[in-house]
């Protein structure tokens, strides 16, 4: 398997297709009124669950395989990768906020449907912008800056990751990483732990 434009285009197109489906359902939820609210809320929850599941797989592939590989082989993209990781966290937070709002919708007035759509459209914009950033930076870097043997190697890792992920088995990331990549992964975990402790300390003050 090659980590080429075709693979990334297929992955991106699937997420965008689900984004469009979700957007249509949110529009129905906003304008179709109380009579159809129950049906549309269920449809919105189903569409969101599909989208979240697809993007979660995409995010994990990026963070567990692609980002560590590029941090070692094309280190100049470290700043972009940090930004994309931060973007992942923003998307997760907004997804959680929207999911909570959908759960509460049945107890709210019809006029709250517009607020749900606003949250949904904001999440959709985050996803579209994130995918565009990945295309313009990560995908182009893989295509233009990796050597042929490196392209082959990252393609092999992606294929193995996808196979294990589909099987439902637990993933041991050490199996995929060189020594330098393991160090990058360890540094990220250490930084996240430190940031978490700092946040907890600030909240306790």
What's the rounded Cα separation, in Å, for the pair 42 and 151? 42
The predicted model scores a pTM of: 0.77
Q: What are the angstrom distances between the C-alpha of 191 and each of 188, 195, 197? A: 5, 6, 10
What does the buried/exposed string (b/e) look like for 91-110 if buried means 16 or more CB atoms within 10 Å of the residue's CB?
beebbeebbebbeebeeeee
User: What's the pLDDT tens digit per position in 125-170?
Assistant: 999 999 999 999 999 999 999 999 999 999 999 999 998 888 766 6
Number of H helices, E strands in the chain: 8, 0
Q: Has residue 204 got a pLDDT over 60?
A: no
The rounded percent of the chain whose pLDDT value lies above 90 is 53
Residue 125's pLDDT is what? 95
pLDDT tens digits along 70-104: 999 999 999 999 999 999 999 999 999 998 888 87
What domains does the chain contain, in order, with CATH numbers?
Answer: 5-170 (1.20.120.520)
Can you tell me the distance from the alpha carbon of 189 to that of 198, in angstroms, rounded to the nearest whole number? Answer: 14
- Give the pair of three-digit tokens for residue 66: 């692609």
How confident is the model over 41-70, as pLDDT tens digits? 889 999 999 999 999 999 999 999 999 999
Q: Do the beta carbons of residue 119 and residue 10 sit within 8 Å?
A: no
Residue 158 and residue 66 in contact, taking contact as beta carbons nearer than 8 Å: yes
> Is 72 in contact with 180 (CB distance < 8 Å)?
yes
């Amino acid at each position: 398997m090659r980590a080429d434009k075709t693979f990334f285009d297929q992955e991106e197109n699937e997420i965008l297709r689900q984004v469009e489906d979700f957007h249509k359902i949110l529009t129905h939820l906003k304008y179709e009124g109380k009579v159809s609210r129950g049906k549309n809320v269920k449809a919105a929850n189903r569409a969101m669950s599909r989208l979240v599941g697809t993007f979660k797989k995409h995010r994990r592939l990026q963070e567990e395989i692609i980002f560590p590989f590029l941090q070692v082989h094309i280190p100049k993209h470290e700043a972009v990768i940090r930004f994309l990781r931060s973007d992942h966290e923003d998307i997760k937070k907004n997804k959680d906020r929207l999911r909570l709002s959908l759960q509460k919708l049945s107890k709210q007035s019809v006029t709250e449907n517009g607020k749900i759509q606003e949250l949904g459209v904001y999440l959709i914009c985050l996803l579209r912008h994130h995918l565009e950033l990945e295309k313009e930076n990560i995908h182009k870097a893989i295509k233009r800056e990796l050597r042929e043997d490196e392209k082959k190697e990252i393609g092999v890792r992606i294929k193995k990751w996808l196979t294990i992920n589909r099987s439902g088995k637990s993933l041991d990331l050490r199996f995929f990483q060189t020594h330098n990549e393991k160090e990058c992964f360890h540094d990220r975990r250490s930084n996240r732990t430190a940031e978490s402790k700092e946040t907890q300390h600030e909240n306790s003050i």
